Structure 1
Amino acid sequence: MMIRFLRCFGTQDLSVFERMTIREYSIRSIACQLRQLDEEGLIYRQAWANWQVQATKQQGKKPVYPTFKKFFDKEKIENEILGIETPENNFKKDNKLIDLMKKANK
């Protein structure tokens, strides 16, 4: 936990870590993950822009990712980090449960 603190939270002062509550650590940890997600989003957006600049319109040549959201769904990842339930997340969880039940019944 201390190594993650030193790596992610932008301070080298261990007394800050020692005074930190578990709740504060959890909040800072989520903020760190969201900050990393923002940085990753910038990288993907740059890759998308580079691809768009180089794309040519030729018949029969369709892009693999027709929209940026298909390429990088930041909102979906952010919801996963924050623990926000979406119908899509619930469906995935249900599939996992169904798979486990199928294995148990074999």
Structure 2
Amino acid sequence: MMIDALRYFGFVDLLEFERMTVHEYSIRMIAVALRQLDQKELIHQQAWANWQIQATETRGKKEVPKYRTFESFFDKEKLENKILGIDTSKFKSESDKKLMQLMKNANK
């Protein structure tokens, strides 16, 4: 138990461990397990992305990359706008895009 606390919780002082209740220890161990699960998910997402980025399409007799640019593979701006609740379909002209960017910057 004490070694787990030093290993997983980042404790450097044994007094921290001694002050911890059994209930707190259990909660922290669950948190460690969930953090490890999150890391495994990230590893699997990276493997999936590596596989996806190598995808090709057949055009005529040629195999061409499915994603020609990074942005076509991962559109961060589109995802950011979705999180911020900005509907980009309303912004057609350059002045509208500039206005959208000003609104984003004002909200930071």
- Tell me the TM-score normalized by structure 1: 0.50
Unaligned runs of 5+ in 1: 59-106
Alpha-carbon distance in structure 1 between the residues aligned to 2:19 and 2:27: 14
Return the structure number with greater relative CO, CA threshold 8 A, min gap 6. Answer: 1
Alpha-carbon distance in structure 1 between the residues aligned to 2:10 and 2:39: 15
Q: Quick check: which one's strand share is greater?
A: 2
Q: Which residue of 2 aligns with 1:28?
A: 28
Unaligned runs of 5+ in 2: 59-108
**Offset of residue 57 of structure 1:** 4.7
Corresponding residue pairs, total: 58
Equivalent position SS for 1:10: coil
**Offset of residue 55 of structure 1:** 2.7
Alpha-carbon distance in structure 2 between the residues aligned to 1:39 and 1:11: 21
Q: Which residue of 1 aligns with 2:50?
A: 50
Q: Which runs of 4+ in 1 moved over 2 A?
A: 55-58
Q: Which residue of 1 aligns with 2:37?
A: 37
Equivalent position SS for 2:56: coil
- Tell me the TM-score normalized by structure 2: 0.50
